[in-house]
C-alpha cells in the first residue's frame, strides 16, 4: 500500500492517508457542505417545525453520534429544514467552545 503525504498548509488538511484515490485534504468537501447548509438555511424555512426530530435527538447526534439512528432523525429531514440545520450548527459551536475551554 502506498502512503501518500500532503504538505498542504490549509487548516483543514488531512496530511496522511493510506488511500491515494481519495483527495488528500477535505477542505473542498467542507466547502461543499457549508454551501449546502447556506442553501438549506435560505430555501427551507420550517417555522412550524414540521417533521423535525426532537431537539434532544439533535443534541445526542452532536454529543454521541454513534447512538443516533436515521429513523430518530426522520431520515434526511435535516437536509430540508433550516430550523434543524440552525440548531445543529449552534449545538456544534457550543460543543467546540466546550472542548476548547476544557
Partner 1 sequence: MRLPTPADLCWNVKCSPDQEWIERTLRIAVENVWPRALEAAHSRNGHGSHVVEIVESAIEHAVCRLKTGDPLGPEPVTQLLQRLVLEEVRRRRRANSRMVFVGSSEELPPKPVRNPQIQIDCALDLEIILQGEHPDVRLALLLRYSRFRWSEIAAALGTTEAAVRIRCKRAIERIREKQEGEQHES
Nearer to partner 1, 2 or 7 (CB): 2
Least distance from partner 1 to the Cβ atom of residue 82, Å: 12
Nearer to partner 1, 99 or 101 (CB): 99
State the chain's maximal CA–CA distance in angstroms.
Answer: 52
Least distance from partner 1 to the Cβ atom of residue 20, Å: 6
- Judged by phi (left if over 0) then psi (alpha if -120 to 50, else beta), residue 22 lies in beta
Summarize as ranges the residues that interact with partner 1 (CB under 8 A): 1-2, 14, 17-22, 26, 29, 32-33, 35-37, 39, 43-44, 61-62, 65-66, 68-70, 73, 75-76, 78-80, 85, 88-89, 92
Least distance from partner 1 to the Cβ atom of residue 37, Å: 7
Q: Grid coordinates representing 98?
A: 466546550
Residues 6+ apart with CB under 8 A from 61: 68, 73, 88
Nearest CA among 59, 57, 70 for reference residue 95? 59
Amino acid at each position: 500500500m502506498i502512503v501518500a503525504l500532503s504538505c498542504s498548509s490549509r487548516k483543514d488538511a488531512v496530511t496522511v492517508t493510506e488511500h491515494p484515490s481519495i483527495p488528500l485534504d477535505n477542505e473542498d468537501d467542507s466547502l461543499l457542505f457549508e454551501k449546502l447548509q447556506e442553501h438549506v438555511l435560505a430555501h427551507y424555512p420550517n417555522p412550524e417545525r414540521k417533521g423535525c426530530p426532537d431537539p434532544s435527538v439533535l443534541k445526542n447526534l452532536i454529543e454521541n453520534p454513534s447512538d443516533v439512528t436515521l429513523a430518530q432523525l426522520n431520515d434526511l429531514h435535516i437536509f430540508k429544514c433550516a430550523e434543524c440545520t440552525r440548531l445543529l450548527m449552534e449545538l456544534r459551536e457550543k460543543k467546540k467552545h466546550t472542548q476548547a475551554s476544557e
